[in-house]
Structure 1
Amino acid sequence: MHARAVAATTTALLGTAALLSPVPAARAGDTGEPTVLAHRGASAYAPENTLAAIDKAAALGFTWVENDVQRTKDGTLVVVHDDSLQRTTDVEQVFPGRAPWKVKDFTAAEIARLDAGSWFSRSYTGTRLPTLAQYMREVEHNHEKLLLEIKNPQLYPGIEQQILAQLDNEGWLDRRHLDRLVVQSFSADSLRAVHRLRPAVTTGYLGTPATGTLRRYAGFADLINPSVGSISAGYVHAVHSVDGPHGRPLRVFTWTVDDAVTAWKAVGYDVDGVISDKPDVVRAALRAG
């Protein structure tokens, strides 16, 4: 995105930043069970971060999906996890002379040529990496909710403003949608930018900050989202004891939980959400208990 466009977008966003966040409910249906979120879509069953993966999550009955957003050379937001296209597309065959095949070095039109499904299964041959706009329209069509990760923001100056503008264009920053959206990142600076520009948006910090620093993170993050192997019941309790930027206790969505034993460990920690490649496995484990 050009500097002038970023500045204009920032001004527009700041003009509407005073909305109060509804903050999504911590637990599904108030049943006491944590919310189960489909990691990169139902990524154990369909190619990650594709429309097929979120369609599979919907077919399995899951409303929350997680994705990763980066930016192309010509400024288009695309949904892909790695900063290289090598692992999940046929970019080596299509563009053999352009190693290391970084997302930021390819145009949107070039990325649209890539097969993002055959690496996973022959049945998904021809699947494409979606733009964020395409992805949001499918999420809306499926009546799903989104945990959106800003991936590698240090590679894409101004990506926070651009993502917020895209979400706004797709109608996802109105009151009807705000309780269906969480923006997360491993970058505290990136989340601070999101919170500054759109304080109504619910945000989650990816990581396990020391308990003594939680109040600092609570200034701009509504959730602390750590790996499941890095936490304990005591840590989750410490997070819950701190109020976030919207005056409610911080919550915890933990990742990546793909088996019954780990699912029950997470439940024992009293987490609010569980992020899983196999959300059906986690759901079955919780219901069996």
Structure 2
Amino acid sequence: MRSMVTIIALLVLLFLGSCVSELDPVMMPSINMSTIDGTVGLDVTATKQVIEGVYKVVSEESTTSRFDSIISVNLASNGEVNMYSTTGVTYFTMYGGTRSDSGVFVGRWRGVQGPSAGSITMIVRPDEGGIELAKGVAAAKDLTLRCQTRSGNGNGTQTLVLRRVAKLNEDLKDFQIIAHRGGGRNSERLGVSENGIAMMLLAPQLGATGIEIDVIGTKDGTPIVFHDPDFTSRTIKGSYIIGPVKNYTLEQIGHYVRLINGERIPTLEEALDSVIDRTELQMVWLDVKDAFIVDRILTIQKAANARSKTKGRDLKIYFGVPTTDIKRAFDASPENEGVDVLCELDAQTALDMGAEVWAPRFTDGLQQGLAESMIDAGIRVFVWTLDDAAFIEQFLSPRYKGKLLYTGILTNYPTLLASRFYTLKVKP
């Protein structure tokens, strides 16, 4: 009888899985890279101070208005120019460089809360900061970027003239924009899967400075990066494996399971290696789901810390403590010395553990007095999970001793948080 019930339950799960509707990923348009032929890539060290900043839209010609009147511009160490707009929760990624007295860039834009996407071309004229950009010297406050955007289907163009009005938010070096589940839980239409390596590599373009990843154990005790305790059609493709993750070995998972967009499920070691070698991310929050793999996670965390240092990376990896079960396993582990801890439990527990970060959920409110006492004790305060602009601004507002009270926010929309954070002190 019990076996019959099990079979029926599996059939129901398979049926429900077949009924799950999937939205196709938004197709990003091709871009004409010949536009930037003959340009010299930006010297990031020299030009970072020239081009980064907060820009206002001072002129606009369009068949439809898609973007904010305030846009932030960031320069990555690989020379990518990234811009963020709150309207449409839009990020732009551009490539290019300078000619003798001007700048030329091409790239794509994407609104992550819907299907909007398109291409962008940007120029910097000689008399509007192009000479300074080419020389890598500080430009005047009103550096001007002339952009033409086009929607993915080719219909609807928008010409924007952006003028720099301020530096980026000065709290940047102390603040973490933390992307949930490797880059954003609501990532189905980006064409990459939550907690997958491709998602982690995309996270910096979305505006993230750090990521949170979920760590769960296989039958043979290998920590893998996956959120749910069970394999279902929400997160995987595969007809032969369903049910609890802990019922399957790493070999079985590697052979039969793919994430929803076709990627392999990474091990924790693979994920951390990719972050260290292939991104500029400043932090990783390990959201530990299973107590039986705590020793192994701590060993991997220590090895990743050591490897990061040998490569000259200033990367923080936090062992997350979300439950009392994980805390007990951490306390009992012989590997618990010399690792950074992020505690989601009550403030006193974070103090008792000697945690580097206390991370309460946002539904507990601002808790300003308690947060201030934690900062006085040398503990940073993060908050999770904020996806609404009004709540984000609420937690970006309080300050203590001249700095932001909350110095890290976990979000499914790092682009939204980046656009609000970088432009915090500039009014439309």
1:127 is displaced (CA, Å) by: 1.6
Q: Report the CA distance between 1:51 and its aligned residue.
A: 0.7
For 1:115, the equivalent position in structure 2 comes to 258
CA distance in 1, matches of 2:417, 2:375: 23
**Counterpart position of 1:271:** 406
CA contact (8 A) 2:308 2:315 kept: no
The Cα of 1:32 is off from its aligned counterpart by 7.7
Is residue 226 of structure 2 the alignment partner of residue 90 of structure 1?
no
| Alpha-carbon offset, residue 72 of structure 1 | 0.7
CA 1:191/1:271 → structure 2, altered by over 3 Å: closer, same or farther? farther
The alpha carbon displacement at 1:262 in A equals 1.1
SS in 2 for 1:134: helix
SS in 2 for 1:148: strand
2:363 is matched with which residue: 229, 238, 241? 229
Q: Does the alignment pair 1:148 with 2:294? A: no
Q: Distance in 2 between matches of 1:171 and 1:235?
A: 30
Distance 1:274 1:280, change over 3 A: same
- 1:69 correspondence with 2:215: yes
What corresponds to 1:188 in structure 2?
327
Does 1:240 find its partner at 2:375? Answer: yes
- Residue by residue over 1:67-120, the C-alpha shift from the partner in whole angstroms, topping out at 9 and shown as x without a partner, is 1111111222110111112231135x323xx5xx11111111222221212xxx
Q: Alignment identity in percent?
A: 23
Which structure 2 residues correspond to residues 30-41 of structure 1 after superposition, within 5 A? Answer: 30-31=171-172, 34-41=175-182
In structure 2, runs of 5+ residues without a counterpart are 1-168, 399-404
For 1:127 and 1:217, locate their aligned partners in 2 and report how far apart those are by CA, in whole Å: 39
- Separation in 1, partners of 2:308, 2:263: 31
The structure whose RCO (Cα within 8 Å, separation 6+) is larger is 1
- Match of 1:280? 415
Larger Rg belongs to: 2
- Letter of the structure 2 residue corresponding to residue 35 of structure 1: Q
Q: Which residue of 2 aligns with 1:259?
A: 388
1:160 aligns with 2:294: yes
The structure-2 alpha-carbon separation of the partners of 1:82 and 1:138, relative to structure 1 and needing over 3 Å to count, comes to: same
Distance 1:231 1:219 in 2: 23
| d(CA) in 2 for partners of 1:284, 1:33 | 17
Q: Could you say which residue in structure 2 is the equivalent of 1:201? A: 339
Q: Is the partner of 2:230 in helix, strand or coil?
A: coil
Q: How does 1:18-29 map to 2 (within 5 A)?
A: none
Tell me what 1:13 maps to: none
| C-alpha distance in structure 1 between counterparts of 2:288 and 2:307, whole Å | 16
Deviation at 1:221, TM superposition (A): 1.6
1:59 aligns with 2:205: yes
- Say if 1:172 and 1:150 are closer, same or farther in 2 by CA, change over 3 A: farther
Amino acid at match of 1:109: E
Residue 177 of structure 1: how far off its partner (Å): 5.8
Higher helix share: 1
Q: Name the aligned partner's letter for residue 379 of structure 2.
A: L
Contact 1:192 1:220 in 2 (8 A): no
CA distance in 1, matches of 2:294, 2:314: 16
TM-score by length of 2: 0.50
**Cα distance, 1:193 vs structure 2:** 4.5
Q: 1:197 aligns to what SS in structure 2?
A: coil
- Give unmatched runs, 5+ long, in structure 1: 1-27, 118-123, 244-248
User: Alignment partner of 1:40: what SS?
Assistant: helix
Measure how far apart 1:185 and its partner are.
1.6
Q: Name the CA distance, whole Å, in 2 between partners of 1:169 and 1:47.
A: 26
CA distance in 1, matches of 2:406, 2:320: 17
The separation in 2 between residues aligned to 1:102 and 1:29, in whole angstroms, is: 46
Q: How far 1:183 sits from its partner (Å)? A: 1.1
Q: Are residues 1:133 and 2:269 paired?
A: yes
**TM value normalised by structure 1:** 0.72
Q: Aligned pair in 2 of structure 1 residues 178, 167: CA closer, same or farther (>3 Å)?
A: farther
